[in-house]
Amino acid sequence: MVDYDVIIIGAGSVGVPTALATANDELKTLVIDSLPSVAQADNKHAIGGIRATHSHKGKIWLCQRSIEIFSIWEERFGDDIWWEQGGYTFLAYNNEHENLLKETVELQKNYGLNIDYVDVEKIKELIPGINEDGLLGATYSPEDGNASPLLSLHSFFRQSKNLGAEYHFNEKVIDILTKNNKITGIKTTKGQYNTKNIINAAGAHARDIGNMVGLDIPVEPESHEAGITEPVKNFFTPMIVDIRPCSDPKFGDSKNYYFYQNKEGKIIFCLTPNPNILGTDRRETSSFLPQISKRMIQLLPRLRNIKIRRTWRGLYPMTPDGNPIIGTVNEIQGYINAVGMCGQGFMLGPGLGELLSRLLTEKMSFRDKEILDTLSFTRNFGVEEELK
């Protein structure tokens, strides 16, 4: 039976970049996934936004590193992952949101982010044709960006394999083996493997993996829908985030929505329903397009005649406070959480993978320890992150 330094459960937005980092640190790494190939769960449903402009310091630091990795990827490995540094802008159309965004900007600047609250004229320059009726201003973070989730994950996958990481697909974990509250291995539908360390990166199924070692992990999947248009000439660069809620008695209420134009000129968009839709149903609905198209056209009327190519529905593994659960647990030695990414696994993954490898190799920095402390399994989940 083969022994591994670490077994990662899940070959998605977190599992694959983690395998890249652990293999780079010369740890014998195995990734197990029940699906036929890499990135076949909710990575392929991600829309590709990458930002460090959070209000939680741990997520800020992780995503700052992720942006560094994405931004030099093509130069380093020669793979075009469609990285575009177009920035993010959060819009304010009322005083409450203006005050919230201004307060958040000050916090973000304290953690070293390049972000400002800008006036309407700047927003009109960034988003030509935007509806300025009631627009008070917005945040703008030029170093944020976007990339293709599928191109990125497949490139990370290839590079991790070049470094020695092994992948087993079409193989489901059915048990985690322990002795004296220490990890000893895993059992799958195809075999048994020895290891002293496992990383739970199972996305929407993280709770099922936790249950195998007696942990009740507070991760609940929610479904969110997204879509993509035909390609048109690029006319705006940032990811546009409208945080206003919307009441729609005919097609259903919604919270925020967001969209950007990718490297091909296609506009990719997503919306947060209200109330949240719990569960693992990935079937598209008939209400999503009427909900979001109405809102997008009101905000940016020149979108009116652009044709929509397709829509899809994916899962956000949510936690009670909107932040991930990362790190070791007291109950089981060798078990590590990398779960509850709340729809932000793609942007967190590269930076998080490196942190997890430093955790395994005992090379953590003071900042690493601070991140793990604020995102631990035992933290107080009572305070939600702003603008999550």
**Pick from 157, 150, 197, 158: nearest CA to 41:** 150
Q: Tens of pLDDT along 174-206?
A: 999 999 999 999 999 999 999 999 999 999 999
**Using 50, 70 and 90 to split pLDDT, how confident is the model at 355?**
very high
Distance (Å, whole) CA 160 – CA 21:
8
- The token pair that represents 363 in the structure block: 């090379």
Residue 262 pLDDT greater than 90, yes or no = yes
71-76: average pLDDT: 98
161-169: average pLDDT: 98
Asked if residues 256 and 270 have their Cβ atoms less than 8 Å apart, the reply is no
What domains lie within the chain, and their CATH numbers?
3-76+149-219+321-374 (3.50.50.60), 88-143+220-318 (3.30.9.10)
**Using 50, 70 and 90 to split pLDDT, how confident is the model at 70?**
very high
Residue 388 pLDDT greater than 70, yes or no = no
From residue 281, alpha-carbon distances to 284, 316, 374 in Å are: 9, 11, 31
Predicted model pTM: 0.96
Q: Tens of pLDDT along 272-281?
A: 999 999 999 9
**Pick from 368, 363, 365: nearest CA to 352:** 368
What's the confidence (pLDDT) of residue 335? 98
Residue 386 pLDDT greater than 80, yes or no = no
Distance (Å, whole) CA 149 – CA 81:
8
What's the confidence (pLDDT) of residue 2? 78
